[in-house]
């Protein structure tokens, strides 16, 4: 963590307890937890009245521009357990040329590829690994489609924690090599990410690893929610009209929705909320299917296939939390085909000089469709999420040979 005279080596946070997202059952803080007794994710709860007294706009303005500036709403109690690699705030970039073409007044991309290990997975994993260190974990295991494994490997190495990572055999090669280069054991699996998750679950029983799978521990949400805290502050505490978010496991969407609730409770924003648009690939769209069917839970998507590997999640443990947030916000779920994703990456790169990852491209493709169908208006303030640097993904060779 960057030096901050306001921090002490051992400090009390505002965490009060943990709570089952499905049943509301309370759990004691400062103990190692996985899922609740109901088999559902746990949420960290805070003394928000206490937070409101210290996390003020003026206090924030005096702090370094990183995710740790929101420390009152974060769970790490002892700063010596923070394993930061420099999680600086990521920029919100206007799509000016595209906006002029589409008549869009305020179309922005939040570029999360600037974070350590090149993706927004750093936000969730720095918090999960820091808390694992604080709670005495010595070995973690998790499934990944690529970027989460890279972040877990890097932070685990910083923390001195053993990391065992399972990924589908067709995970982008750069991710697999990055995970291994950062000191983790990485296994390729003939299957999808939920198949990898089954091997993690088996290993936790046989080898005593702590399962760091998406939403199977409480703290990745707390790291990911800093996206919501950060964008609210960057936009002067006025939230966008709509947020397009690439949705696989959905931790970030859930986390941002939680962040907005906490910001309202401490008086930094009002009751207005962005419409949350969950974006999936047509080849793996369980949330879209469940949303359109009016269901609260999403059944497994068979035969999942897409170039946007980060959102190729056939079944998510937090499905009801994603769908609840989408519906409460007045948003929707949109699936886009791979052809539109690839075209979106090319268009934004060619017209704006911003290299999106495929998952980020999916959000722009979904925005184009939503604009054409009247789901969003050209006069609305819209934020797209680019969740990783496009440099990690294959690109077409357009060079000219002389």
42-70: per-residue pLDDT in tens?
A: 999 999 999 999 999 999 999 999 999 99
C-beta separation of 82 from 222 below 8 A: no
CATH number for the domain running over 92-114+226-392: 3.40.50.1100
Q: How confident is the model at residue 1 (pLDDT cuts 50, 70, 90)?
A: very low
Whole-model pTM over 0.75: yes
Is it the case that residue 310 has pLDDT exceeding 70?
A: yes
Q: Which sequence spans correspond to the domains of the chain?
A: 15-81, 92-114+226-392, 121-211
Residue 362 CB-half CA count within 13 A: 31
Average pLDDT of the residues in 97-112: 97
Q: Note the pLDDT of residue 91.
A: 98
Share of the chain above pLDDT 70, in %: 97
Q: How confident is the model at residue 188 (pLDDT cuts 50, 70, 90)?
A: very high
Q: Note the pLDDT of residue 12.
A: 56
Average pLDDT of the residues in 113-130: 98
C-beta separation of 127 from 161 below 8 A: no
The residues pairing with 108 across neighbouring beta strands, listed in sequence order, are 94, 383
Is it the case that residue 172 has pLDDT exceeding 60?
A: yes
C-beta separation of 279 from 322 below 8 A: no
Same fold, 92-114+226-392 and 121-211: yes
Q: How confident is the model at residue 11 (pLDDT cuts 50, 70, 90)?
A: low
Residue 79, classified by CB atoms within 10 Å of its CB into exposed (0-12), middle (13-18) or buried (19+), is: middle
Average pLDDT of the residues in 10-18: 80
Is it the case that residue 7 has pLDDT exceeding 90?
A: no
Task: Specify the CATH number for 121-211; select among 3.30.420.10, 3.40.50.970, 3.40.50.1100, 3.90.930.60.
Answer: 3.40.50.1100
What is the spatial distance between Cα 306 and Cα 301, in angstroms, rounded to a whole number? Answer: 12
Q: Give φ, ψ of 119 to 5 degrees.
A: -155, 165
pLDDT of 137-163, one tens digit each? 999 999 999 999 999 999 999 999 999
What is the spatial distance between Cα 250 and Cα 238, in angstroms, rounded to a whole number? Answer: 23
Residue ranges of E strands in 21-62: 26-27, 42-46
Q: Note the pLDDT of residue 9.
A: 43
Tokens at residue 63, please? Answer: 């702090």
pLDDT of 353-380, one tens digit each? 999 999 999 999 999 999 999 999 999 9
| DSSP-assigned letter for residue 91 | P
Distance of CA 34 to the CA centre of its chain: 19
Closest by alpha carbon to 233, among 262, 206, 204? 262
Percent helix / strand / coil, the chain, rounded to 5: 40, 20, 40
Average pLDDT of the residues in 71-85: 95
Residue 330, classified by CB atoms within 10 Å of its CB into exposed (0-12), middle (13-18) or buried (19+), is: exposed
């Amino acid at each position: 963590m960057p030096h901050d005279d306001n921090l002490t080596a051992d400090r009390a946070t505002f965490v009060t307890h943990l709570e089952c997202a499905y049943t509301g059952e309370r759990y004691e803080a400062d103990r190692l937890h996985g899922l609740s007794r109901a088999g559902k994710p746990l949420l960290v709860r805070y003394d928000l009245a206490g937070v409101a007294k210290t996390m003020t706009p003026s206090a924030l303005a005096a702090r370094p521009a990183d995710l740790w500036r929101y420390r009152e709403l974060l769970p790490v109690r002892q700063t010596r357990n923070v394993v930061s690699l420099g999680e600086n705030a990521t920029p919100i970039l206007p799509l000016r040329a595209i906006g002029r073409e589409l008549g869009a007044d305020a179309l922005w991309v939040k570029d999360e590829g600037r974070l350590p290990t090149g993706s927004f997975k750093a936000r969730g994993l720095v918090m999960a690994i820091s808390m694992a260190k604080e709670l005495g974990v010595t070995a973690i295991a998790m499934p990944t489609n690529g970027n989460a494994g890279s972040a877990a490997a890097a932070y685990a190495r910083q923390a001195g924690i053993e990391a065992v990572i399972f990924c589908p055999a067709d995970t982008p090669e750069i991710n697999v090599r990055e995970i291994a280069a950062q000191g983790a054991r990485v296994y390729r699996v003939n299957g999808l990410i939920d198949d990898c998750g089954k091997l993690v679950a088996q290993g936790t029983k046989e080898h005593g690893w702590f399962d760091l799978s998406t939403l199977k521990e409480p703290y990745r949400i707390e790291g990911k929610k800093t996206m919501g805290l950060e964008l609210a502050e960057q936009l002067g505490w006025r939230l966008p009209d709509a947020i397009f978010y690439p949705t696989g496991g959905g931790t970030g969407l859930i986390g941002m929705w939680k962040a907005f609730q906490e910001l309202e409770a401490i008086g930094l924003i009002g009751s207005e909320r962005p419409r949350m648009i969950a974006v999936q690939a047509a080849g793996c769209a369980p949330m879209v299917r469940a949303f359109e069917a009016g269901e609260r839970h999403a059944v497994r998507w068979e035969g999942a296939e897409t170039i946007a590997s980060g959102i190729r999640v056939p079944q998510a443990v937090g499905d009801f939390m994603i769908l609840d947030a989408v519906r409460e916000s007045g948003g929707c779920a949109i699936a886009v085909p791979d052809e539109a994703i690839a075209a979106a990456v090319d268009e934004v790169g060619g017209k704006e000089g911003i290299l999106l990852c495929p998952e980020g491209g999916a959000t722009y493709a979904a925005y184009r469709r939503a604009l054409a169908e009247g789901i969003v208006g050209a006069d609305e303030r819209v934020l797209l999420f680019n969740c990783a640097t496009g440099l990690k993904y294959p690109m077409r060779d357009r060079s000219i040979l002389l």
